[in-house]
Amino acid sequence: MTSKTVDVTSLKSNSSSKIIGKPFTIFGLTFYHEDSSFKIGTDALLFSAVIRGINDISSVLDVGCGCGIVGLSYIGKHRTARLTGIDVHLPSVQRAAANAALNGLNDRSVFYQADFTRFPTDEKFDLIVSNPPYFQNHLKSMSEEKNLSRHLSGELTYDVLISKAAEVCGKFTSLILPWFYRDRVIRLAVAGRLHLCRAIDFWSKPSSKQPVRSVLVFSKVPGKMPVETERYFIRNEDNSYHSDYSKLIGA
């Protein structure tokens, strides 16, 4: 698949760059996402908040960038970092580029319509981030956009995602994924010579029987100490946001 560079200036006359829906404001940035394949939700917010704590990064690759919230949130905080975002869904790529321009970040970001498995690059990125599709062998939706955003395809499996990331990773690779895939992805990363350096399990509530999501951060350099899994709660029993969530999102 041929990659296509999206020129931010050309979006001024492109219908997909028009304001659609209500703005979503977080981390001091504003995003529109209604025409993105996957709308901004809890996963994107948790993941964005976690990776914003990774320092000393000059280049970021956001795989499956959607409307751009994860990568743009990072370079919005880290003013010397540059972002490359890729997504197979063209309207999402156009929206990410428009969001970059809206927030004054288009001088440090570029977006491509591209399949990660075929993305041609010789660059080593300091940080690779991905909030990837996560369903495997599940009944698919009638909506092709939902399938793109939620289902791992026959080509972009976790195996392929980790393998490709290991090739172009310079320092760190980080993913958010359903908790039940956590151990499998860690094994794949170890096989690809990526070393777990941080693991966070997110629980819906303190009474939940198991976590719902995990954020994993892998390093190219092995650590000296074993990694202890951190535990965060998203909501209290009354469904209000837990202090863990509030502190993380406010970081």
Whether 228 is covered by a domain: the verdict is no
Structural domain of 56: 4-194
Collapsing DSSP states into helix, strand and coil, what is residue 172?
A: strand
What is the band of 129 on the pLDDT scale with cuts at 50, 70, 90? Answer: very high
Whether 51 is covered by a domain: the verdict is yes
Report pLDDT for 37: 82
Q: Are 229 and 201 in contact (CB under 8 A)?
A: yes
Whether 83 is covered by a domain: the verdict is yes
Whether 140 is covered by a domain: the verdict is yes
User: What CATH number is given to the structural domain containing 128?
Assistant: 3.40.50.150
Has residue 186 got a pLDDT over 60? yes
| Neighbour order of strands in the sheet with 169-178 | 4-5, 109-113, 82-87, 59-63, 125-130, 169-178, 213-219, 195-203, 230-233
pTM: 0.86
**pLDDT single digits (tens) 193-222:** 999 999 999 999 999 999 999 999 999 999
Whether 223 is covered by a domain: the verdict is no
Backbone dihedral angles phi then psi of residue 139, each to the nearest 5 degrees: -60, 130
Whether 50 is covered by a domain: the verdict is yes
Whether 160 is covered by a domain: the verdict is yes
Look-up: residue for tokens 């009354």?
Answer: 238
Has residue 82 got a pLDDT over 60? yes
What is the band of 7 on the pLDDT scale with cuts at 50, 70, 90? Answer: very low
Q: Are 151 and 86 in contact (CB under 8 A)?
A: no
- Count up the domains in the chain and report the number: 1
Look-up: residue for tokens 């969530």?
Answer: 245
Whether 170 is covered by a domain: the verdict is yes
Q: Are 232 and 212 in contact (CB under 8 A)?
A: no
